[in-house]
Structure 1
Amino acid sequence: MTKLLIAAVAATIAFVAPATAKERVFTHEGITYSYTATPSANGVVLEGQASKGGKFRLVVKGDWVNGYAGGARVSFRAPKREATVQVAQR
């Protein structure tokens, strides 16, 4: 369960906008995740709960994510953001 939680939250890290702490909700493989993203001196803090798997608290700083998910300590490289390609129309 922890691996699924990590994968789902990691999939959304690229979309975290560290502007304000507002609750975000998404569903991945039938599990609903509710969390807040709060900027801090240590990076962006993602805190929330999954409908299955329990609570999580992750800190995203640079290329790394550290914290706890489902009671287990986790640390992994943050997913790279996809580069936006703009095509000029002639």
Structure 2
Amino acid sequence: MTASAIIFTAATPVSAAEGEQSFQHEGYTYVYKTSDDHGRKVISGHRLPGNAPFHLVVKDGRVTGTSGNTNVAFRTAEARGAAGGMAATGR
């Protein structure tokens, strides 16, 4: 498996700019873009309502980063199937 361990299958974007994707989870809409950075998948965007930013880095089956003002860290396997519109693959 490559370092780009999470693949989001997004629902139709809601208030998303060109190139952004979105998904819904627990009453929130997450609008984001992905990029690759030296073998790492970078996912950054914001959560609606409230426009809280998030920045996640996926590598070697782990996700680390921030959501709002909170540090987050979890294995990609823990994200599998979250939000119904989001599918994750990983180690």
Scaled by the length of structure 1, the TM-score of the pair is: 0.61
1:60 to 54, 58, 61: 58
Deviations 1:29-80 (A, max 9, x none): 3211100010111500000100046110000001111111111111111126
Instruction: Flag the structure with more relative contact order, 1 or 2, with Cα contacts below 8 A and sequence separation at least 6.
Output: 2
Q: Is the 8 A contact 2:6 2:58 kept in 1?
A: no
Which runs of 5 or more residues in structure 1 are unaligned?
Answer: 1-12, 83-90
- Which consecutive residues of structure 2, in runs of 5 or more, have no partner in the other structure? 10-18, 81-88
Partners of 2:76 and 2:68 lie apart in 1 by 18
Report how many aligned residue pairs link the two structures.
66
Larger Rg belongs to: 1
Question: Secondary structure, in 3 states, of the residue corresponding to 1:15?
Answer: coil
Name the structure with the higher helix share.
1
Percent identity over the alignment is 33
Runs of 4+ in 1 over 6 A off after TM superposition: none
C-alpha RMSD of matched pairs (Å)? 2.4
The TM-score, its normalising length taken from structure 2, stands at: 0.60
Q: Report the counterpart of residue 5 of structure 1 in structure 2.
A: none
Which residue among 73, 77, 83 is the counterpart of 1:75? 73
